[in-house]
Amino acid sequence: MAESECIKDQYTLVIYWSSILRKSLQINPTLHTTFLTYPNLRELFIQVYIKSVHEESSQFDGQEAFNLLLFSVFDKLRASEDKQLGTDMFKFIFEELIFLALRTPEPAFIILRWIGDFFDKFDLKEDLGCDINVFNIIIKLVDFIKNCERSLKHTQSIKIEACFFILDRYLLNNRSKETFDFFGQDQGLIAEILNEGIFKVPSYDGQDGPKYQSKELKATAFSTLALLGETQRNFNTITSILLPIHQAGVWRSAKETSWNLTANIKRRSHKYAGLVNLGCSKNLIRFYTYL
């Protein structure tokens, strides 16, 4: 059997297995304990989230099914008086697995997205009594964003996007001026997003320039920027960076005559004439008008 077929069969098995366990959790109130004490649980997580990951819907379906199973397990943990299993599990997920996913060359970003969804559903300290320092882990994610080099690889863009996604969920659940200012100012995330990620001046040879290449990553970064800008200190920093960029726009130095539109009397064979965009559009692209 071909390797791709074996991988497909593995993820089909994960779908059925996860579904059966989810239903069994409703019947057996202690089954989650058996699951969390499974000796090869670490290898199971790595196999599902890190290894054998390919861009086929069947594999992503298997990961999604596993995600739903984990939410069911953690629901049981939240209602349980024994928090030690939850503490051990979150140490593994947040302190080991999440950074393993970031370091691996494989597109193991499903686990990163799941972490963000987890922040929407659970409070790590209140619901599950975990003793991990989530704050320090979020700092590590911000460090990962800042330390990433410019790359055209789609996998890296998605992983940085996932880090922003997790950070957004954390900030939304920990709304405080001190937290927002800490990440925006002390961790330098505002300057990183604007000066390095989006508006860094490209080099002549094209080897340097803005870190964020995909439109999805840029949109996610802007979302985080808008969230951080809710405090006055962060808003002032954002303004201080964006205002000079706006004032130094090349379109401001254009002659007045450059703004005049003159019809080309002699029609072109394709019936289109170019209209030079002087920098007023959002994406600085060239528009065309039909004469």
Other C-beta atoms lying within 10 Å of the C-beta of residue 273: 15
Other C-beta atoms lying within 10 Å of the C-beta of residue 264: 9
223-238 pLDDT, tens digit each: 999 999 999 999 999 9
Same domain, 163 and 291: no
Residue 140 confidence (pLDDT): 92
Same domain, 236 and 266: no
Residue 278: which domain range?
Answer: 254-291
For residue 241, give the 3-state DSSP assignment.
helix
Same domain, 271 and 242: no
* Stretch among 6-10, 19-23, 226-230, 280-284 having the lowest mean pLDDT: 280-284
39-77 pLDDT, tens digit each: 898 888 888 888 765 555 456 778 888 888 888 988 888
Helix H or strand E segment including 110: helix 110-121
Same domain, 173 and 283: no
Same domain, 222 and 287: no
Q: Is pTM beyond 0.75 here?
A: no
What domain count does the chain have? 2
Helices 41-49 & 57-79, crossing angle to 10 degrees?
A: 140
Same domain, 76 and 144: yes
Helix H or strand E segment including 138: helix 134-147
Same domain, 268 and 183: no
Q: Which two tokens stand for residue 135?
A: 């704050």
Closest CA to 77 of 32, 24, 132: 32
Same domain, 34 and 162: yes
In Å, how far from its chain's centre is CA 56? Answer: 20
